Structure 1
Amino acid sequence: MSAPGRGREATGADQAARRPSPVDLSRVEAYLVGRGYHVAHDEDGDLTGTWDGDRFWFLLLGEQHEILQVRGRWHRTLPAHRRAAALLAVNDWNRERIWPKVYLRDEDEGSALYTEVSVDLEHGVTDDQLGQLVACGLGTGVQFFAALGGLVPED
């Protein structure tokens, strides 16, 4: 039995993929497209796509664009009389789970529900880590929106 790290030499590309490097939207886009997802850039230049009818954005925030945020918005906008039920669902979710952070925001048409997973990547991120973070933000957001449909009935 050979010692760890011996036997097979990693190629230069393998080593580079395992080395943390700055996050940028092209890396996020490459991950998503590599998984067969369709994404586009909106009028603000943000990377966005739709999963199960819900809109998600992949944003870089912070002074150095070092904070990756995966933000989702539920496809429904709720009328005022559904706000209390939505708040209960949001509070229950946030109390019982770490990801995603979920919140309700009042907008012109009614109340909108959002999810967010934000990670500070100031020191860089490997391709595998980036993929895991994007998948976490997207997957847990989709989970929340799917659960929400049963908790907040349509009129």
Structure 2
Amino acid sequence: MGFFNKPDALPDQPGAALAPLSHDRITAVLDARGYNYGIDDDGDIGGIWDDHVFYFLRIGQEQEYLQVRGRWSRPLSASHYTAVLELANQWNTDKVFPKTYVRVEDGELGVYAEHSVDYEKGVADEQIDQHLACGVSTALSFFGLLDERFPEAVEEHRVRAQAARAPE
């Protein structure tokens, strides 16, 4: 058949050239939405949505991939690994994005959601905006499912957060 073996045979696409993905373009989209974010010592852009940490990363050899990575903020013992793994696998089977995964980190579970796209050929500002919004909102949907299944983790998070705010 040979549908995919001749990439040079594709016709040129009309329209404006797409600009390369850049750090400044990501922050401009976040600024336009009025989002509160920070930039860490490594230059990574991140913020907190519904108590969950998110990063907006450029990865790849030419930093051409945009990845929205969120981490579920609730503490849950590694003894729940299989149950959370099965939930993440079911999510990955049923949903297009985000990709979800779980790993053990210092005796507790680290549960992540990622949405990555290759923008090697460039990207429009509207695409960046859609990518960031989609990555955060779909991750929050998965984290909401986790909150429903593990209410004890939500309560432990609330107790820890309250203790962290209490005066000494």
Q: Could you report, residue by residue, the CA deviation over 1:6-25 in whole angstroms, capped at 9, with x for unpaired residues?
A: xxxxxxxxxxxx64100012
User: Which stretch has the larger CA shift, 61-70 or 106-115?
Assistant: 106-115
Match of 2:63 in 1: 65
Aligned residues of 1:85 and 1:152 also touching (Cα < 8 A): no
- Matched residues in 2 for 1:77 and 1:60: separation? 28
Matches of 1:35 and 1:146 in 2, distance apart? Answer: 23
Gaps of at least 5 residues in structure 1 are 1-17
User: Could you tell me how far 1:80 is from its partner in structure 2?
Assistant: 2.0
Cα pair 2:53 2:70 within 8 Å, conserved = yes
State the aligned residue count.
139
Task: Look up the SS of the partner of 1:57 in the other structure.
Answer: strand
**Which amino acid in 2 is paired with 1:150?**
E
Q: Percent identity?
A: 43
For 1:50, which of 44, 48, 53 is the aligned residue?
Answer: 48
Q: Which amino acid aligns with 1:52?
A: D
| Number of the residue aligned with 1:29 | 27
Contact 2:81 2:104 in 1 (8 A): no
For the aligned residue pairs, the C-alpha RMSD in angstroms reads 1.6
Q: Which 4+ runs in 1 deviate beyond 3 A?
A: none
Q: What is the DSSP-based 3-state SS (H/G/I as helix, E as strand, rest coil) of the residue aligned with 1:81?
A: helix
Task: Give the Cα–Cα distance (whole angstroms) in 1 for the partners of residues 77 and 147 of structure 2.
Answer: 15
Instruction: State the TM-score, normalized to the length of structure 2.
Output: 0.78
TM-score normalized by structure 1?
Answer: 0.84
SS of alignment partner, residue 38 of structure 1: coil
Query: How many Å apart are 1:84 and its aligned residue?
Result: 2.1
Identify the structure with the greater strand proportion: 1
Report the AA paired with residue 107 of structure 1: E
Q: Distance in 1 between matches of 2:28 and 2:149?
A: 35
1:78-97: per-residue Cα shift (whole Å, max 9, x none)? 20222222112111111100
